[in-house]
Amino acid sequence: MKQPRTIMPVLDSTNRQTNFDEVAIGYSLEEAILEASRCLDCKNPKCIDACPVRVNIPEFIKRMINSDLNGAYNTIYDDNILPSICGRVCPQEKQCEGSCILGIKGESVAIGNLERYLGDFALHSNVKQQFDIAENHIKVGIVGSGPAGLSCAASMRKLGYSVDIFEALHDFGGVLKYGIPDFRLPKDVVTDEINRLKDMGISLHKNMIIGKSLTIDQLLNEYDYKAIFLGSGAGLPSPLKVPGENYSGVYYANEFLTRVNLMKSHKSSSSTPIKIGNNVAVVGGGNVAMDAARTAKRLGAKNVFILYRRDMSALPARLEEIHHAIEEDIDFRLLLNPVEFIGEEYIVKRVKCEVMELGEADTSGRRRPMPTGIFKEFEIDSCIISIGQSPNPILKDSTSKLEVDKWGRIVTNNHETSIPGVFAGGDVVSGAATVILAMGAGKDAAKEMDKYIKNVM
Amino acid sequence: MYKILDKQHLNKDVDLMVVHAPMVAKNAKPGHFIILRVDEEGERIPLTIAEIEGENVTIIYQKLGYSTIKLGTLHIGDEINDFVGPLGKESHIRDVKKVLGIAGGVGAAPLLPQLKEYSRQGVSVDLLIGARTKEHLILVDKYKEFCDNIYYATNDGSVGTKGLVTDVMKDLYANISYDHVVAIGPLIMMKFVVKMNKEYNLSTDVSLNPIMIDGTGMCGNCRVSIGSKTFFACIDGPDFPGEEVDFDELLARQSYYKDEEHECNLRLVRK
């Protein structure tokens, strides 16, 4: 008989709604080895190609089965410098696990859970990879300490460069710190992973807004950086563009999540407040919407509902997050499109939505939501808009020759921007996507930066 | 960490602080602001830059809420946890001949670098400054260095006209013609200054101070409706032409966390 997929243990779905503890508890060693033993070690594995940073998955699993946990961890770390994070937040069902041969007829190997196990094992037991870095004393600057920047920084450092990361906020990690909540990605995991990069010799500078504190031009010409990588992400919230959107009580997910994740407003020691009320609507169906809804619940909101203009099958969020949201009594009100906020004294009271129906498939392959002319209203105390983000305009506004498209995304050719020596990757190029795609872009851009520097020097 | 090099009490509610922050000072221009966090648990608070000298940045703040009161407990030699900038757009200096600056309360601080810049560019500058009492007036000596005339309004009449800045404006406009007004102070003051200037066909630039978190265009907390458009005060401002600003909406947004702020103050007293 085939061994079934080892279930990830989770916190009780009722109790966990009252705290920010991590929902998925993680495998024990026995569970991890048991799950690893399900791998078929295929002759032509599909999983590696499906991973944006091409982790050698069969190899690390083989080492795990042989109880060589250090070796297994090092195998991952060669390609992925944030295993504890990616194990938790990657959409594995669309990547490695989605292409696992076992998944064709049954359940794929839980690759993400195994990666997380090894990452956490290394953090707890302080396993460190030894790098033999041959210093070349050439300075490169990295803008943004999110997944793209960290990944690019690590790759450049391994090649011997002196790497400085500039972060606009007061803490490092970008979206990993301000965006993703503790119950999905504990902040100490992020801090620990980033500290490993400091051990590698990478310098991180907080409170540095490139484009303001220093411009790209100053970095290149005054401070002698030979190449720069822009990984400043997609931080600008997309508006609904409906009447009443600026009433108090209407948040963009960025504000709401930043208040909680970065500023820790849910803790009594924090001096940043948060106000949410009992009835909370969340607009959108992606990971950010799930995070916002589940966070609202944990802050004490009684009724939290998602407003989404398509149906359940079209939700773009990671599967596990949707399951967890359902378990936590988040109500999914589907085929509804907000058209107006109704307020009193500039404070939001109700949201008016148009009922949608599904028409023909659009360019994304999903059926397009069509207006019906029928409207519904819901009483709310607050609303969290989570319908997407675009790149922050500060870099574009302060850098005259930096070419961007009509959505503000930096235009690149083989990771190089319109300015020689300036490279870019991650959400600032692609628009809001995933942690692992940003990491892949950072890693690939590093190769091009290295080539460029060797060419000009 | 950012060291406090100097601190002065401008009056019992308002302090001036000089902070060593070379990376803020390097590119700072009039109109820019900073965001600081007093300590590890602190909230991010925006403050306009009052002066830049070498690597040092001068800020002026009113000890009104939890975080500014806490900032006021620091002394020369202490360090501020985080201090980032310069943020926002630099002030748009208009091509005019005669400008009236209107300052309300601690608004005299952000107005100073802007009016000074007008004066540096050869524009004739008058100041109308309003405060609760004579003791609440700040920076008057600094303004005297470049203003042609200074007019006062105090609530109690302890100096200048007894009443509001709008009371003085009427008299001024009867005798003097200005090309442009820059008004910085409490929202409610800016609202009524703009309203009156519209009647006189006089343009007004205002500096808005909504609640902010990151200050880099990320959270959207600081959004303001101007005409039919939404702007983020942190990256599009903080200075805006005042004519179409929806001040009432902004007043509501600014007071949304008033109850929570009160709780924080209680915590400070208990310590």
Residue A134 lies in a domain: no
Do B241 and B148 share a structural domain? yes
Do B143 and B240 share a structural domain? yes
Interface pTM (ipTM) of the complex? 0.90
Residue A132 lies in a domain: no
Beta bridge partners of B60: B16
Among A365, A385, A405, residue at a domain's last position? A385
**Closest approach of B111 to chain A, Cα-based (Å):** 21
Residue A342 lies in a domain: yes
A70: domain CATH number? 1.10.1060.10
Do A380 and A243 share a structural domain? yes
Do B220 and B104 share a structural domain? yes
Among B63, B87, B111, residue at a domain's last position? B87
Cα torsion through B57, B62, B63, B64, rounded to 10: -140
- Residue A302 and residue A337: Cα distance in Å, rounded? 22
In the predicted model, residues of chain A with pLDDT beneath 50 are none
Residue A3 lies in a domain: no
Q: Looking at residue A74, what is its pLDDT?
A: 93
Do A249 and A196 share a structural domain? no
Do A173 and A108 share a structural domain? no
Do A446 and A329 share a structural domain? no
Task: Inspect the interface and report whether the beta carbons of B84 and A170 lie closer than 8 Å.
Answer: yes
Q: What confidence tens digit (pLDDT) does each residue in B44-101 have?
A: 999 999 999 999 999 999 998 889 999 999 999 999 999 999 999 999 999 999 999 9
Q: What confidence tens digit (pLDDT) does each residue in B140-150 have?
A: 999 999 999 99
CB A113 within 8 A of CB A25: no
Identify the sign of the CA torsion A34, A38, A44, A45: negative
Residue B113 lies in a domain: yes
pTM of structure:
0.92
Do B150 and B120 share a structural domain? yes
Q: Which of B219, B249, B250, B255 to mutate to test the interface with A (most CBs of A within 10 A)?
A: B219
Q: What CA–CA distances, in Å, run from B201 to A70, A92, A249, A452, B166?
A: 75, 62, 36, 57, 15
Residue A343 CB coordination number (10 Å): 19
Residue B262 lies in a domain: no
Residue A266 lies in a domain: yes
Residue B263 has pLDDT above 90, yes or no: no
Do A380 and A406 share a structural domain? no
How many domains in chain B? 2
Residue B71 lies in a domain: yes
Q: What CA–CA distances, in Å, run from A189 to A117, A196, A290?
A: 12, 11, 21
DSSP letter assigned to residue A262: I
Q: Looking at residue B266, what is its pLDDT?
A: 56
A219: domain CATH number? 3.50.50.60
Residue A328 lies in a domain: yes
Do B150 and B22 share a structural domain? no
Do A22 and A90 share a structural domain? yes
- Tokens 């872009």 sit on residue: A441
Residue B38 lies in a domain: yes
Residues 6+ apart with CB under 8 A from A161: A136, A138, A139, A140, A450, A453
Residue B192 lies in a domain: yes
DSSP calls for A66-92: TT-HHHHHHHHHHH-S-HHHHHHHS-G
Q: Looking at residue B261, what is its pLDDT?
A: 64
Do B162 and B126 share a structural domain? yes
Q: Which of B214, B225, B251 to mutate to test the interface with A (most CBs of A within 10 A)?
A: B214
Which pLDDT band, with edges at 50, 70 and 90, does B262 fall under? low
Task: Inspect the interface and report whether the beta carbons of B85 and A213 lie closer than 8 Å.
Answer: yes
Do B137 and B77 share a structural domain? no
Residue B189 lies in a domain: yes
Q: Looking at residue A212, what is its pLDDT?
A: 96
Do B23 and B126 share a structural domain? no
- Chain A nearest-CA residue for B84: A207
Q: Which domain holds residue B159?
A: 98-254
Do B227 and B161 share a structural domain? yes
**Closest approach of B158 to chain A, Cα-based (Å):** 36
- Residue B225 and residue B218: Cα distance in Å, rounded? 17
DSSP calls for A305-338: EEEESS-GGG--S-HHHHHHHHHTT-EEEESEEE
B124 sits in which H/E element? strand B124-131
Residue B268 lies in a domain: no
Do B235 and B187 share a structural domain? yes
Q: Looking at residue A1, what is its pLDDT?
A: 57
B71: domain CATH number? 2.40.30.10
Q: Looking at residue A363, what is its pLDDT?
A: 84
Q: What CA–CA distances, in Å, run from B100 to B23, B119, B148, B178, B237?
A: 32, 11, 10, 7, 20
B30 at A interface, C-beta within 8 A? no
Do B117 and B73 share a structural domain? no
Do A228 and A366 share a structural domain? no
How many domains in chain A? 3
Do A327 and A254 share a structural domain? yes
Residue B193 lies in a domain: yes
CB A292 within 8 A of CB A384: yes
Do A451 and A318 share a structural domain? no
Task: Inspect the interface and report whether the beta carbons of A394 and B213 lie closer than 8 Å.
Answer: no
Do B115 and B240 share a structural domain? yes
Q: What confidence tens digit (pLDDT) does each residue in B197-254 have?
A: 999 999 999 999 888 899 999 999 999 999 889 999 899 989 999 999 999 999 999 8
For A154, phi then psi, to 5°, come to: -65, -45
- Tokens 């404006």 sit on residue: B169
Write the residue in A212, A214, A255 that is nearest to B219 by C-beta: A255
Residue B271 has pLDDT above 50, yes or no: no
Q: Which domain holds residue A371?
A: 239-385
Task: Inspect the interface and report whether the beta carbons of A209 and B218 lie closer than 8 Å.
Answer: no
